[in-house]
Amino acid sequence: MLNYFKKIAFPIFSIFLIFRSYLIIDQLISSPSDLNILQSILCAFQLVIYITGIFALPGFAYPTSRLLSKKYYSLKNIPSLENTYKKFGVAYFRKFLLLVFWGRKKNRQKYFNGTRSGVQNLIYQSKQSEFGHLLAFITIAILTLWMLILGYWQLSICLIFINLLGNLYPVVLQRHHRMRIQRINIEQSN
């Protein structure tokens, strides 16, 4: 019953977030004004949350990660991934997430329960999460360019910063998780 509810409610809420995002963007376009720094931060935060939700929510009810090919999810340049993970300080982001949300055992067990089948679920969940964050990241990057063209400099800078933290870091983190799992699987098969 809960699963059936998710399959209906999450896409509907995603459509609602599309509508809310449209209203904000339409307001910025139809009546341009100078946003102060606080307004820019709040507007950027809202847009990133809404747009990320548009792509993430359906992933809680449907296997949205299948919309990208298996080739996308295969990890080819592992040294580059490790370098990106280290250079951008994604490990600190991971620790922050553990402290704030994922540190609770109940929350972690939704993704990995400690069993072999749990590893497959973790891989699936990492792909689902990566898909939602990747599409949101791309959409917000395009929106940022549009806002730059319209002259919303402060808003664009805020969008870039929040989008990097809210969407690019999770993409790198999910790929890093799968890299670590891949290493464990290779070590176990040897």
Structure confidence by residue, pLDDT tens digits, 36-76: 999 999 999 999 999 999 999 999 999 999 999 999 988 88
CA dihedral 36, 37, 39, 44 (to 10 degrees): 130
Residue tagged 């290779």 (tokens): 186
User: To 5 degrees, how large is the angle CA 143–CA 149–CA 153?
Assistant: 85
Q: What is the pLDDT of residue 187?
A: 52
Per-residue pLDDT, averaged over 164-172, amounts to 95
- Whether the CA torsion 140, 142, 146, 148 is positive or negative: it is positive
- 190 pLDDT tier (thresholds 50, 70, 90): very low
Task: Indicate if the pLDDT at residue 13 is higher than 80.
Answer: yes
Structure confidence by residue, pLDDT tens digits, 99-125: 887 766 666 667 777 777 778 888 888
The share of the chain scoring above pLDDT 90, in percent, equals: 57
What is the spatial distance between Cα 67 and Cα 132, in angstroms, rounded to a whole number?
11
- 177 pLDDT tier (thresholds 50, 70, 90): confident
Report the predicted TM-score, pTM, of the whole model to 2 decimal places. Answer: 0.88
Query: Of the ranges 38-42, 105-109, 133-137, 170-174, which one carries the lowest mean pLDDT score?
Result: 105-109
Q: What is the pLDDT of residue 115?
A: 75
Listed residue (167, 150, 177) closest to 53, CA to CA: 167
Per the CB < 8 A criterion, the answer to whether 52 and 133 are in contact is yes
Distance of CA 96 to the CA centre of its chain: 15
Q: What is the C-alpha radius of gyration for the chain, rounded to an integer number of angstroms?
A: 18
Helix (H, G, I), strand (E, B) or coil at 109: helix
